[in-house]
Structure 1
Amino acid sequence: MKNIIILLVLSVISIGQGMAQKFGYTDMEYITSKMPEYQQAQTEMKKFSEKWAKEIQDKFAEVSRMQRAYMAEEVLLTDDLKRKRQAEIKEKELEAREYNSKIFGMEGLLFQKKKELMKPVMEKVQRAVSKICMQKRLDFMFDKSSDVGMIYSNPKHDYSDYIMEELGIDAQPAKGIAKEKTVKDESTVAPKESSPKQKSTTNKLK
């Protein structure tokens, strides 16, 4: 299905521009599978995932232990002690569920750790994509293994400003803020190797 969508997009581009634009595709899943950096990041991710999963398992095991102990002693407890023990169990279970959500929930610690570990790999791949697109004079590059689809586009084909103008949206303040932030960042971060101006979408590596 993804390949069909990409082909349709490419067909529209080709027809609309009279074949004036050049495009290509790649397979990021295959490329990253051959990258030692990617494999190392995957290994690190597995370690963190297993470590956190064990911690959560231990927390729920403690809840189960407390529940079994309560059931075994329930007939001997006063009503006040029953309520106290039940509250303790409930609090412990809530703590375990919250920790599980903190780690494996949407944008939780595991998600953040994945972004941290994958960022260098993704940046390296994106630099390679941009370089090849410029060398081969490609206007668009698609990834057939990703739902993202487009991973590079020549900025000269960006018509966002025209659309915003049509909608009556003033883009100047936002751009001014972005420029100010860039200058501020450059004053505190060591300069990096310059790269061509581009607009690209980096696919989410699996």
Structure 2
Amino acid sequence: MKKFLILLVLSSASISSGWAQKFGYTDMEYITSKMPDYQLAQTEMKKFSEKWAKEIQDKYGEIDRMQRTYMAEEVLLTEELKRKRQNEIKEKELEAREYNSKIFGMEGLLFQKKKELMKPVMEKVQRAVTKVCAQRRLDMLFDKSSESGLIYTNPKHDYSDYVIEELGIDLKPAKNALPKEKIGVVDTNPTTPPVTSPKQKSTTSKLK
């Protein structure tokens, strides 16, 4: 429904403004399921996940053994020894929880490993998407299997600089600052003129 509404709004905007845009959609789940590189990365991910899960399981197994041993020997222990054994168990529990968070928590080792393994695969997919969109002269491409929706947009339709200028934000780089390259998909359609921001227009008129 969310993607349908986006398409409806974009279609209405293109009709009202008098210019036509070409849309398309794809299914990334279907595409990646056919990619050997993706399947290999998934297999590697599973190995790391199972390895780390086993390590955490072993830690909690040790804690369980310590608790059972303590309960069996509790009546024979002095108060000082009881406190010592209880503290040892608590320390082991804390260590296990911290390790579990380190591996499976947000931005944990599993998350980082997934990014590392999937990055070359997704870059390969993105290059293919960009090439297909250029060849088919698509302005926007949607992924029907993803909530994020858009996976490609023609940069000539990016009006971010206009909005920033309307907000009164100066885009001029500070003195002695290194120039930043604008990251994005290059428009491979030479017949389509690029959008010129108001600042570029004023600069051009002065030079004339």
Q: With structure 2 as the length reference, what TM-score do the two structures score? A: 0.81
Aligned residues: 184
Q: For residue 86 of structure 1, what is the aligned residue in structure 2?
A: 86
Distance 1:72 1:177 in 2: 69
> Structure 1's 90 and 12: CA in aligned 2 closer, same or farther, altered over 3 A?
farther
Query: How much has 1:196 moved relative to structure 2?
Result: 5.5
Q: For residue 127 of structure 1, what is the aligned residue in structure 2?
A: 127
Q: For residue 204 of structure 1, what is the aligned residue in structure 2?
A: none
Q: Is the 8 A contact 1:74 1:82 kept in 2?
A: yes
Distance 2:162 2:27 in 1: 33
Q: Is the 8 A contact 1:45 1:113 kept in 2?
A: yes
Q: For residue 172 of structure 2, what is the aligned residue in structure 1?
A: 172
Partner-residue secondary structure (3-state), 2:25: strand
> Structure 1's 32 and 13: CA in aligned 2 closer, same or farther, altered over 3 A?
farther
| More helix per residue | 1
> Structure 1's 16 and 51: CA in aligned 2 closer, same or farther, altered over 3 A?
farther
Partner-residue secondary structure (3-state), 2:170: coil
Q: For residue 139 of structure 1, what is the aligned residue in structure 2?
A: 139
Q: For residue 190 of structure 1, what is the aligned residue in structure 2?
A: none
Deviations 1:45-99 (A, max 9, x none): 1000000000000001111111111111111111111111111100000000000
Q: Is the 8 A contact 2:155 2:185 kept in 1?
A: no
17-26 or 118-127: bigger deviation: 17-26
47-56 or 8-17: bigger deviation: 8-17
Q: Is the 8 A contact 1:2 1:144 kept in 2?
A: no
Distance 2:121 2:178 in 1: 25
Q: For residue 52 of structure 1, what is the aligned residue in structure 2?
A: 52
> Structure 1's 49 and 5: CA in aligned 2 closer, same or farther, altered over 3 A?
farther
Q: With structure 1 as the length reference, what TM-score do the two structures score? A: 0.82
> Structure 1's 177 and 91: CA in aligned 2 closer, same or farther, altered over 3 A?
farther
Higher relative contact order (CA 8 A, sep 6+): 1
> Structure 1's 100 and 177: CA in aligned 2 closer, same or farther, altered over 3 A?
farther
Partner-residue secondary structure (3-state), 1:25: strand
Unaligned runs of 5+ in 2: 188-208
Q: Is the 8 A contact 2:23 2:141 kept in 1?
A: yes
Partner-residue secondary structure (3-state), 1:142: strand
Q: For residue 199 of structure 2, what is the aligned residue in structure 1?
A: none
